[in-house]
Amino acid sequence: MSVQERKQRERADRERLIVATARELAEQQGWDAVTTRRLAERIEYSQPVLYSHFRGKREIIGAVALQGATEMAAAVRAATSGAHGPRERVTALARAYLDFAEDNPAVYDALFQLDGGLAYAREDTPEPLKDAFAALLETLGEVAGDGVHPGLFTEVLWASLHGLATLTRTRRLLPEDAAQRVELLVDRLAVL
């Protein structure tokens, strides 16, 4: 291995450490607790080293969001791949999405609530975000119904899931009704 290859590998390792540490800190204490000073202390590097990877917290949030998008896409695909029939696939997708949001609140916030400097729904949208949407579209596009644009339908169902995830997490909805909400969403929105 050349010196340059070793340095590139070390740089990539440091970057992964920064992102993992930010994510861990955000999951434990919230995004307000994630500061460059605190991250530098936790990873035992100076703040200038941290700034050589990310210009600031916004870019770190973006990196966590991209990582989360990849994980969410994988979770949705895993859940839907074992389901039989459109209704079961849509139900599995909804549950996987809501479970991901519940199990990874800081990552979910990085993806959909915080400014990570990422472009959404544009030509320059990063591939992990496009793939996360594609993971939803793969299942939802097949149940959009006649004359309904599959992408638009996916956006509406995604917005509904996001609303459920957000309202549940902020305790605006009774947790014991979560399964009924998913069933109602599938029954009323998806043409099965």
pLDDT digits (tens, 9 = 90+) for 160-170: 999 999 999 99
User: What global pTM score does this model have?
Assistant: 0.93
**The tokens 């909804």 sit on which residue?**
94
Q: Mean pLDDT, to the nearest integer, of 97-102?
A: 97
Q: From CA 11, how far away is CA 7, in angstroms rounded?
A: 6
Structure tokens at 37: 């000073």
Rg (the chain; Cα; Å): 19
Residue 178: pLDDT band (50, 70, 90) is very high
Evaluate if residue 191 carries a pLDDT over 70: no
Phi, psi of 164 (to 5 degrees): -60, -45
Q: Mean pLDDT, to the nearest integer, of 56-77?
A: 98
Share of the chain above pLDDT 70, in %: 98
Q: Mean pLDDT, to the nearest integer, of 74-98?
A: 96
pLDDT of residue 76: 98
Our separate counts of H helices and E strands in the chain read 9, 0
Q: Which residues contact 64 (CB under 8 A, 6 or more apart)?
A: 19, 22, 23, 26, 106, 107, 110, 116
Mean model confidence pLDDT for the chain:
94
Residue 138: pLDDT band (50, 70, 90) is very high
pLDDT of residue 188: 84
Residue 60 and residue 18 in contact, taking contact as beta carbons nearer than 8 Å: yes
Structure tokens at 121: 């729904």
How many CB atoms sit inside 10 A of residue 16's CB? 13
Q: Residues 21-40, buried b or exposed e (16+ Cβ, 10 A)?
A: bbbebbbeeebeebebeebb
Evaluate if residue 189 carries a pLDDT over 90: no
Closest C-alpha among 84, 71, 184 to residue 139: 84
Binning the chain into helix, strand and coil, the percentages to the nearest 5 are: 75, 0, 25
Closest C-alpha among 97, 184, 187, 83 to residue 135: 97
Evaluate if residue 34 carries a pLDDT over 90: yes
Structure tokens at 102: 């519940």
User: What separation in angstroms does the CA of 82 have from each of 51, 89, 125, 185, 186?
Assistant: 43, 8, 29, 20, 18
